[in-house]
Amino acid sequence: MTRDEFLARLQSVEWDDIEFKEATWAVPKSALETVSAFANTEGGHLVFGVKESNGTFSVTGVTEIDKVQNDFFGQVRDSQKISALLPITGDIHTMPEGSVICLYVPEAPRHEKPVHLDRNPKRAYVRKGSGDRACTAEELLRFIRDAGTITYDSETLDLDPTKCFDEGTVRWYRARFEASNPGENGAADDISFLRKWGFLVEREGKIRPTRASIVVLGSGEYVRQELPRLVVDLQLYRHGASEYAPSVRWADRVTIESNLIEAWKAILDFYLKHSEKPFAVDPTTLRRHDDPPDYISFREAAINLLIHQDFGDATRVPVIRFFRDQAEFFNPGDALASREQLLDPGDKEVRNPRIVGAFRRIGLSDQGGTGVGAIFDGWRQLGFVPPEIENDKAEKSFRLRLRREKLVSEEQLLAQASLGVQLSEHEAAVFAYLIRNGEIDLADIKALTGLPGPAVRELAQRLAVQVILRPSVGIQGKFALADHLRTRFLGPAEDINAQRQLVTKTDTDNGATVQVTEQVATKDTEQVSVMKELTDIQWVIVQHADASRTLAELMAYTGYNQRAHFKMAHVEPLLDGGILRMTVPDKPTSSKQRYVLTNAGLKLKTLRLDYETATARKETGE
């Protein structure tokens, strides 16, 4: 952690990726608990020499720097004290109040979790919010299952292979396999086929099914024996997601306890039953020839939920909830890759490799780890806000939300038009996201654009040059809406970095570095009026100005008679907002003056027409 990063985090709140401790003379007793918590979740910074009082953090300094530092590294390298040897790094920063030690604790590899203390697995911690919490017994089991060198779905079961499979499912699977892999079946009977493709394996001279084979193809009683909970719970609500509460009853619900192939069929039936645009699916392949983007995103999200869940967790049930404005997918079991890694193509470590392989062989799981990317691609094609991922490594759960909300709304287009710069499609998407959320990171930009890492960084750099965004102080890979645009588009907000500027200067007398805090006075700044919506009259103007029009023509279209008021109240705001432009801008009163839509105006018109068409379809039930 650099000095600037430390100063920025000091002004923020203590949260899940940073912990401040006083540690004036010695390593605090709770320091190793924090190390365990960071290692078991997503890593974080442990800072010695900072005191917390009533929610405010102040530098107190570490008096015995060498002793505290050496004692800490001695403890974290002692296998009697902590179970994993972690590559912890650190920096020392000298402040006016004293020196601080900033340590970075990385996330531990999967096979080393849970990282625990004093050779006691029950002394393992996870990071929740701004605190370290001891793992529960169930949480420990989740870590242990994921740490195994032999995956849970690869374990064999002492079952009769001639009785434990659902014949209809196996028959369907073999037909689908043959359609996807012509000429590769090569098995005279079901047992031979299941052996050839790893559903049955030989152990100690006996042929035994794997857990994966039962979960994917097993008959009902055997599936319930291995998985004593629902495979998935489907729920449909007639209201928006914001109105959801556990006490609110669903409008339709299906609970599924069958194998994964039959579960996918049931999920698809439920989706088709309630789809806004009914369509047919090939009963053999369970796929469409002309897959629309919303179906692709749903399909990949649902199959990811089925194949990547933690099947050893009998306490939590995967749930898919359909709301009027979004679909939500909850899975027990976190993704073993980061959010940014999930968006990149290429194979990734998975919890259930045999189950994933079984679905890939029949084309129900995209190759090369592209499933999550396909979800984002489909949603991007529809112009919706990016899917939201919550990969909780402490809770070991995964949540995905597909919100049916347009990313670039009328308000965003009006805001873009007022910038006075021409943005590319990708730049416009990032700008629209920024004026919604105020900040963005590289993974967000990748989700918005589908671009690879280098191109994402180049895009961020271009927007910084155009003063659309700025790097967030002290946080690598994160950006904020440029300061001159924050107040304009987001309104007044508490921005500690903007209100308190930390300036470092050198004392020329003794060469010492002195930290000076300069309070930035609040100034009355002229507020720029930003168009957030158009009047009915302005919409009529937009509808007719895709070709250049005179003022008189526009007045005739709108039925207006008062020229001066029409121009002042309706035309000039469109000019100022970048929706209209004059064909003779240097001579506003020219007799040859015409008015025509800008590129932003054309996009705004298209957006409005798309919205009206979609609304009409809903009203007519098409």
Tell me what pLDDT residue 537 has: 92
- Range of lowest pLDDT (49-53, 396-400, 504-508): 504-508
Tell me what pLDDT residue 461 has: 94
CA-only gyration radius of the chain, Å? 30
- Specify whether 128 is located in the same domain as 162: no
Query: How many domains does the chain fold into?
Result: 4
Tell me what pLDDT residue 147 has: 92
Say whether 596 sits in a helix, a strand or coil: strand
Tell me what pLDDT residue 554 has: 94
Tell me what pLDDT residue 287 has: 60
Query: Which of 396, 427, 442 is the last residue in one of the domains?
Result: 396
Tell me what pLDDT residue 596 has: 95
In angstroms, the Cα distances linking 401 to 375, 385, 516, 578, 606 are: 11, 10, 45, 34, 27
pLDDT band at 99 (very low <50, low <70, confident <90, very high): very high
Using alpha carbons, select from 150, 155, 127 the residue that is nearest to residue 139.
Answer: 127
Q: Residue 507: inside a domain, yes or no?
A: no
Judge whether residue 283 has pLDDT over 70. no
Strand duo 232-236 + 319-322: pairing: parallel
- Compute the average pLDDT of residues 257-284: 83
Query: Which of 396, 427, 449 is the last residue in one of the domains?
Result: 396
Q: Residue 522: inside a domain, yes or no?
A: no
Q: Residue 521: inside a domain, yes or no?
A: no
Judge whether residue 528 has pLDDT over 60. no
Q: Residue 62: inside a domain, yes or no?
A: yes
Tell me what pLDDT residue 11 has: 80
Highest mean pLDDT among 42-51, 336-345, 370-379, 409-418: 42-51
Tell me what pLDDT residue 130 has: 85
Strand duo 18-21 + 44-48: pairing: parallel
Tell me what pLDDT residue 248 has: 86
The neighbouring-strand residues paired with 585 are none
DSSP track, 322-382: E-SSEEEEEEES--SS-HHHHHS-S----S-HHHHHHHHTTTSS-GGG-HHHHHHHHHHHT
Predicted confidence (pLDDT) per residue in 393-451, tens digit: 999 999 999 999 999 887 777 887 777 677 888 998 999 999 889 999 999 999 999 99
pLDDT band at 339 (very low <50, low <70, confident <90, very high): confident
| Bond into 386 cis (ω within 30) | no
- Specify whether 328 is located in the same domain as 354: yes
pLDDT band at 494 (very low <50, low <70, confident <90, very high): very low
Q: Residue 604: inside a domain, yes or no?
A: yes
Using alpha carbons, select from 27, 135, 9 the residue that is nearest to residue 71.
Answer: 27
CATH of residue 469: 1.10.10.10
pLDDT band at 525 (very low <50, low <70, confident <90, very high): very low
Q: Residue 37: inside a domain, yes or no?
A: yes
- Specify whether 306 is located in the same domain as 294: yes
- Specify whether 256 is located in the same domain as 206: yes
Highest mean pLDDT among 203-207, 303-307, 507-511: 303-307
- Specify whether 171 is located in the same domain as 65: no
- Range of lowest pLDDT (107-121, 348-362, 418-432, 565-579): 418-432
- Specify whether 434 is located in the same domain as 309: no
- Specify whether 179 is located in the same domain as 136: no
pLDDT band at 502 (very low <50, low <70, confident <90, very high): very low
CATH of residue 24: 3.30.950.30
Tell me what pLDDT residue 417 has: 76
What is the C-alpha to C-alpha distance for residues 379 and 382, in angstroms, rounded to an integer? Answer: 5
pTM listed for this prediction = 0.82
Predicted confidence (pLDDT) per residue in 129-153, tens digit: 889 999 999 999 999 999 988 999 9
- Specify whether 129 is located in the same domain as 190: no
- Specify whether 305 is located in the same domain as 158: yes
Predicted confidence (pLDDT) per residue in 198-240, tens digit: 999 998 889 999 999 999 999 999 999 999 999 999 999 999 9
> Please, what's the b/e burial string for 79-112 (b: 16 or more CB within 10 A of its CB; e: otherwise)?
eeebbbebebebbebebeeebbbbbbbebbeeeb
Judge whether residue 184 has pLDDT over 90. no
Q: Residue 405: inside a domain, yes or no?
A: no
Using an 8 Å Cβ cutoff, are 390 and 398 in contact? yes
Judge whether residue 368 has pLDDT over 60. no
Share of the chain above pLDDT 90, in %: 64
Query: Which of 371, 396, 421 is the last residue in one of the domains?
Result: 396
What is the C-alpha to C-alpha distance for residues 396 and 335, in angstroms, rounded to an integer? Answer: 8
- Specify whether 264 is located in the same domain as 241: yes
Predicted confidence (pLDDT) per residue in 533-553, tens digit: 888 899 999 999 999 999 999
Judge whether residue 280 has pLDDT over 60. no
In three state form, how does the secondary structure of 85-113 look?
Answer: CCCCEEEEEEECCEEEEEEEECCCCHHHC
Tell me what pLDDT residue 322 has: 96
Predicted confidence (pLDDT) per residue in 457-486, tens digit: 999 999 999 999 999 876 778 999 998 888
Tell me what pLDDT residue 527 has: 43
Tell me what pLDDT residue 442 has: 93
Q: Residue 476: inside a domain, yes or no?
A: yes
| Average of per-residue pLDDT values in the chain | 86
Judge whether residue 273 has pLDDT over 50. yes
DSSP track, 452-465: -HHHHHHHHHHHHH
- Specify whether 97 is located in the same domain as 188: no
pLDDT band at 159 (very low <50, low <70, confident <90, very high): very high
**Which structural domain, as residue segments, surrounds residue 616?**
536-620
pLDDT band at 375 (very low <50, low <70, confident <90, very high): very high
- Specify whether 185 is located in the same domain as 157: yes
